[in-house]
């Protein structure tokens, strides 16, 4: 799949799922002024993908108009356990690279599962995406937004209620539609 198609599909998911259902109340604030950088990683191997992630951290250092980066991994990380291994390494490297407290990672995957939740639970859809994604976020932006937002736990609670109420089939259909609209 071409990088442009992967980005378009990811933007559809962001608009039609994340923003529409308010899974991340901050998303619309960075989407509307278009301060999101979408980077498609063409490297299916962990080492090469992590090298490219470092380049994205450096890009955020240099380009202050970019609020956040969606680092999209359409190849090589379809298996959720492999993705979790990559995520763990990426989080360790954020610290090694000196970005602890500067950037943090959020994670999204087509097979995302919260530990302790039933496999069929609709709640997993708060973090399910069309492709594996490492979301690189400026911690200062999160701190600033949370100051005005209140208790961040309410986001999680509301998301769990929304997904449970609408059901796994509803969100599965939405994810499929995000991909279908780009093909």
Gyration radius of the chain's alpha carbons: 16
Burial 105-120 (b: 16+ CB within 10 A, else e): bebbbbebbeeeeeee
What pLDDT score does 34 carry? 74
**Predicted TM-score of the model (pTM):** 0.93
Distance, CA of 139 to CA of 172 (rounded, Å): 31
Is the residue at 62 inside a domain?
yes
Does residue 181 carry a pLDDT above 70?
A: no
Does residue 14 carry a pLDDT above 60?
A: yes
Paired sense of beta strands 133-138 and 68-72, if any: antiparallel
- Residue whose token pair is 């209140």: 150
Range 43-48 average pLDDT: 94
Range 4-26 average pLDDT: 93
Is the residue at 100 inside a domain?
yes
Range 5-16 average pLDDT: 95
Is the residue at 183 inside a domain?
no
Query: Computed from CA positions of residues 9, 83, 127, 57, in that sequence, does the dihedral angle turn out positive or negative?
Result: negative
Range 149-169 average pLDDT: 89
What pLDDT score does 183 carry? 57
Distance, CA of 160 to CA of 125 (rounded, Å): 9
Could you tell me the residue range of the domain that residue 63 belongs to?
3-178
Query: Computed from CA positions of residues 164, 169, 172, 174, in that sequence, does the dihedral angle turn out positive or negative?
Result: negative
How many structural domains does the chain have? Answer: 1
Mean pLDDT for all residues in the chain: 92
* E strand or H helix that includes residue 93: helix 80-96
Paired sense of beta strands 68-72 and 36-40, if any: parallel
Is the residue at 116 inside a domain?
yes
* Max avg pLDDT among 30-34, 57-61, 139-143: 57-61
The three-state secondary structure class of 171 is helix
What pLDDT score does 77 carry? 97
Range 110-132 average pLDDT: 95
What pLDDT score does 182 carry? 61
Distance, CA of 137 to CA of 33 (rounded, Å): 16
């Amino acid at each position: 799949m071409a990088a442009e198609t992967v980005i378009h599909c990811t933007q559809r998911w962001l608009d039609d799922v994340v923003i529409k259902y308010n899974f991340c109340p901050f998303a619309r604030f960075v989407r509307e002024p278009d301060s999101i950088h979408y980077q498609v990683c063409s490297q299916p191997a962990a080492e090469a993908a992590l090298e490219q992630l470092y380049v994205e951290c450096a890009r955020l250092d240099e380009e202050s108009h970019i609020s956040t980066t969606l680092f999209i991994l359409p190849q090589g990380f379809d298996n959720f356990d492999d993705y979790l291994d990559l995520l763990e390494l990426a989080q360790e490297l954020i610290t090694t690279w000196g970005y602890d407290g500067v950037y943090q990672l959020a994670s999204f995957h087509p097979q995302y599962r919260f530990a302790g939740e039933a496999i069929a639970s609709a709640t997993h859809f708060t973090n399910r995406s069309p492709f594996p994604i490492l979301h690189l976020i400026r911690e200062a932006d999160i701190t600033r937004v949370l100051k005005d937002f209140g208790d961040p736990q309410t986001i999680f609670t509301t998301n769990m209620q929304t997904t449970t109420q609408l059901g796994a089939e509803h969100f599965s259909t939405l994810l499929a539609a995000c991909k279908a609209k780009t093909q």
